[in-house]
């Protein structure tokens, strides 16, 4: 019988597999980030005139001047009443009820003039209304 105390073995943490895994991950990340720059396609997109791509038959362009005068599709409207503007919108809506009213209002135009256009569009049955704005950087209307 062996009554001598056995030396206790200290538990060991083997770091070599851990380091191996970290190196593999590091190599993978280095290669994938390096190749991501080279795998991008360098494209030259075709150039097209933006105005040519627009769907003009569905658009009704309404301009409101600073004096409150109206024009529909670049044709001046004789009066300033809702009824006259509504008739002009119905005539200008080539796509019928599917037409989109684009309001180009002068920055100095009265609020009531823009509300008149919106009311005339409602009476004409045109429910899709949007406003054109001018970009602060380029200075051109979309």
DSSP, collapsed to helix, strand or coil, labels residue 100 as strand
Higher pLDDT, 2 or 79: 79
Q: How confident is the model at residue 139 (pLDDT cuts 50, 70, 90)?
A: very low
Residues 118 and 82: beta-carbon distance below 8 Å: no
Mean pLDDT value across residues 27-46 = 64
Mean pLDDT value across residues 105-125 = 91
- Write out the two tokens for 78: 């004789």
The CATH class for the domain spanning 52-131 reads alpha beta
Q: How confident is the model at residue 135 (pLDDT cuts 50, 70, 90)?
A: low
pLDDT of residue 35: 56
Q: Residues 45-95: pLDDT tens digits?
A: 566 555 554 556 788 889 998 888 899 988 888 888 999 999 999 888 887
Q: What are phi and psi of 97, to 5 degrees?
A: -70, -15
Q: Which of 63, 69, 94, 65 is nearest to 81 (CA)?
A: 69
Q: Residues 95-114: pLDDT tens digits?
A: 788 889 999 888 888 999 99
Mean pLDDT value across residues 20-47 = 71
């Amino acid at each position: 019988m062996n009554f001598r105390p056995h030396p206790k073995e200290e538990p060991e943490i083997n770091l070599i597999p851990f380091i191996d895994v970290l190196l593999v991950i590091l190599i993978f990340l280095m290669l994938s980030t390096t190749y991501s720059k080279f795998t991008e396609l360098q494209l030259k997109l075709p150039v097209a005139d933006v105005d040519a791509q627009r769907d003009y038959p569905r658009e009704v362009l309404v301009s409101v001047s600073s004096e409150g005068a109206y024009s529909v599709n670049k044709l001046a409207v004789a009066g300033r009443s809702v009824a006259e503007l509504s008739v002009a919108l119905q005539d200008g809506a080539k796509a019928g009820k599917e037409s989109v009213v684009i309001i180009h209002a002068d920055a100095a135009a009265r609020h009531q003039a823009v509300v008149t256009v919106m009311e005339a569009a409602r009476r004409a049955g045109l429910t899709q209304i949007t406003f054109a704005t001018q970009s602060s950087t380029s200075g051109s209307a979309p």
